[in-house]
Amino acid sequence: MSAIQESVPPRTPLAARIERLATRKNATRALIAAGLFGLAIFLIRPTFPNYDSYYDLVWGKALAHGHLPDYDVLRSPTPHPLAEAVAAFLTLFGGAADRIFVLITIASFVGLLVCVFRITQILFSTLIAAVAVLILLTRTDLDFYAMRAVVDMNGTLHGTRMSRS
């Protein structure tokens, strides 16, 4: 019995094997894959901004033309100055501004996943970080927010990045 046990190499725990995979090269590969996946979703599933984001685009267009946004319209959403500044820049792209706004939000969602992974990896381990990202991916409301250019998705990314520093 002891001869058999000696011939079998000792098994390393799953967490240790995953930690060995956490190299800078593999992180770069994962980031590229996540970016390509986000771009594929953007191209395959065309969505458009939601009500609030369209208002940001309208107000950004007003800013780009040298006018102050009209916040006193009936049932206007809460203004988001940073989103309006981005929308003012996006007026350079004409009719594609709304789709580019969606792309920026999807990129922010991918950035949120990267930040959550990295923070969790620093605090706990690579295995727990991977589980945290998988849990975030199961939250369909976050995916939906990213695909509909909900402005709060960009704020979530910036809040997560600030908590890291």
pLDDT for position 165: 53
The string of DSSP letters for 51-82 reads HHHHHHHHHHHHHHTT----TTSTT-----HH
Task: Name the more confident of 69 and 163.
Answer: 69
pLDDT for position 10: 61
Q: What is the mean pLDDT of residues 88-96?
A: 93
Give the CA-trace dihedral at 97, 101, 107, 109, to 10 degrees: -170
Residue identified by tokens 């390393």 is 12
Structure tokens at 86: 């981005």
pLDDT for position 140: 84
Q: What is the mean pLDDT of residues 133-146?
A: 87
Reported confidence tier of residue 88, pLDDT bands at 50, 70, 90:
very high
Is the predicted pLDDT of residue 8 greater than 60, yes or no?
no
Q: What is the mean pLDDT of residues 43-63?
A: 90
Tell me the one-letter amino acid at 36. Answer: L
Reported confidence tier of residue 159, pLDDT bands at 50, 70, 90:
low
CB 117 within 8 A of CB 133: yes
pLDDT for position 7: 59
Q: How far apart are CA 86 and CA 64, in angstroms?
A: 10
**Residue 46 burial (10 A CB sphere; 0-12, 13-18, 19+):** exposed
